[in-house]
Structure 1
């Protein structure tokens, strides 16, 4: 059996100096880390998945966890991993994320119905 050591990363902070964190396997790294970040704001982020249309970003979602977060408010991020969704501006748990996916499915159906209605209008205008 292999006893693999956890990955760690050391990040500079403005209030605690260098802070060494255990880095989750899903973390995409900290290339954009700034040394003027407070320890409470250190965040692990996974790769972002984007929904774009005609070159415009509609949604972005990524796994996140903030190991020193002081908040315990649901949907505002925290120590427990969640999925940060933009432009919603919330961090969702699995139940919320499934609910969002369901809402998007329903919205897609309404968009298709609207496209059908527009097609009928345009077809009628061209008769």
Structure 2
């Protein structure tokens, strides 16, 4: 399979079912597109934000868009993944954990505004 080619904010990806598919690529997309898959599975993925506690991931978040989705929205959204973090904590660690969650909530609350700005900019 050919590697993705880019021209004027578009990307062309070879797919198993539609051959070369050329589509606009938003500026926030990292450009890591899977070659040789199905067109419906093509997606845009932005930089991942990792929210940690004690050097261990609690939440992962990134902007995503599935422009050829056959189910679900095609507009840009925020993908949030809760990791499988689990641990028994002592009283001090519970306080530290709660502090981390409050701090992460601040980050998460900023992301919808960024998402709204992206949607406005892209005319969605």
CA distance in 1, matches of 2:8, 2:34: 23
Deviation for aligned residue 1:69 = 0.5
Q: State the superposition RMSD in angstroms.
A: 2.7
Deviation for aligned residue 1:21 = 1.1
TM-score, normalised with respect to structure 2: 0.57
- May I ask how many residue pairs the two structures share in their alignment? 83
Query: 8 Å contact 1:6–1:23 — kept in the other structure?
Result: no
Which residue pairs with 1:22 in the alignment? 24
Query: Which 4+ runs in 1 deviate beyond 4 A?
Result: none
Query: 8 Å contact 2:12–2:20 — kept in the other structure?
Result: yes
CA distance in 2, matches of 1:6, 1:82: 23
More RCO (CA 8 Å, sep 6+)? 2
Flag structure 1 segments of 5+ consecutive residues without an equivalent. 73-77, 89-110, 117-127
TM-score, normalised with respect to structure 1: 0.56
Residue-by-residue CA offset, 1:23-78 (whole Å, 9 max, x unaligned): 01111112xx3323110010001111111223321111111111100113xxxxx3
CA distance in 1, matches of 2:60, 2:8: 28
CA distance in 2, matches of 1:34, 1:82: 19
